[in-house]
Amino acid sequence: MPIETLASDIARIRSSYIRDRFAFVPGEEMVRIVQALGATDEDLDRLVTVSEALESDPTLPFRRTRTGRFGFDPASMEVRRLEFQPFMLSTEDDFVRHDAGQVRIFDEIRDDLQLNTALQALFVFKFMVFDGMAIQHRPKLDYDSERWVCTLLNVRTITDGDLIGEPALEGVHSDGVDHTMTTYLGSGNMTQDSAVTFLHEMAETNGTRWHDTDPELVRARAQHRDFLDTCLIVDHELKHSVSTLYAADPERPAFRDLLAFLTRRPVAEGHHSREFDSAAPHPTMPMTVPLRAPGGAAEAG
Q: Is residue 173 part of a domain?
A: yes
Residue 245 lies in a domain: yes
d(CA 124, CA 217): 32
Q: Which residues pair with 288 in a beta bridge?
A: 80
Residue 298 lies in a domain: no
d(CA 104, CA 84): 12
pLDDT (mean) for 158-167 = 93
Strand 179-188, strand 196-200: pairing: unpaired
d(CA 165, CA 169): 8
Does 80 have pLDDT greater than 60?
yes
Domain for residue 220, yes or no?
Answer: yes
Residue 91, number of CB atoms within 10 A of its CB: 14
Domain range for residue 182? 3-290
Average pLDDT over residues 181-189: 98
Distance CA 280, CA 286 (A): 11
Q: Does a structural domain hold residue 181? A: yes
Q: State the pLDDT at residue 300.
A: 37
The enclosing H or E element of 289 equals strand 288-290
Backbone torsions φ then ψ of 269, nearest 5 degrees: -55, 135
Of residues 180 and 101, more confidence is placed in 180
Task: Please give the single-letter amino acid code of residue 104.
Answer: R
The tally of domains found in the chain comes to 1
> Which whole number is the average pLDDT over 260-273?
95
- What local confidence, expressed as pLDDT, does residue 296 receive? 53
Model-level pTM?
A: 0.95
DSSP 128-185: HHHTT---PPPTTB-TT---EEEEEEEEEEEE-SS--B-TTTT-SB--SSSEEEEEEE
- CA–CA distances in Å: residue 1 to residues 36, 92, 119, 149, 291: 6, 43, 18, 29, 18
Lowest mean pLDDT among 139-153, 220-234, 281-295: 281-295
SS3 content of the chain, % helix, strand, coil (to 5): 25, 30, 45
HSE-up of residue 257 (Cα within 13 Å, Cβ side): 18
pLDDT above 70: residue 256: yes
Identify the pLDDT of residue 230: 98
Phi, psi of 256 (to 5 degrees): -145, 125
Is pLDDT at 283 greater than 60 in this prediction? Answer: yes
pLDDT at 174 > cutoff 50: yes
In the structure, how many helices (H) and strands (E) does the chain have? 5, 12
Report the pLDDT value the prediction gives residue 294, as an integer from 0 to 100.
Answer: 72
Residue 296 forms part of a structural domain: no
Closest to 69 in 3D by CA, of 174, 185, 168, 153: 153
For the chain, the average pLDDT equals 94
At 301, is the pLDDT very low, low, confident or very high (cuts 50, 70, 90)? very low
At residue 136, does pLDDT exceed 60? yes
- Is 8's pLDDT higher than 80? yes
The predicted structure's pLDDT at residue 298: 41
- Per-residue pLDDT, averaged over 65-69, amounts to 98
**pLDDT on residue 58:** 95
Predicted local confidence at residue 297, as pLDDT:
44
Average of per-residue pLDDT across 230-245: 97
Max alpha carbon distance in the chain (Å)? 54
Beta strand 63-73 with 22-25 is unpaired
Whether 299 is in a domain gets the answer: no
Contact partners, residue 144, CB within 8 Å, separation at least 6: none
- Residue-level pLDDT at 118: 98
What is the pLDDT averaged over residues 260-266? Answer: 98
Residue 297 lies in a domain: no
**Are the beta carbons of 176 and 94 closer than 8 angstroms?**
yes
Q: Which of 12-16, 161-165, 236-240, 245-249 has the lowest mean pLDDT?
A: 161-165
Q: What is the CATH number of the domain that holds 187?
A: 2.60.120.620
Predicted pLDDT of residue 17 = 98
Question: What pLDDT shows up at residue 122?
Answer: 98
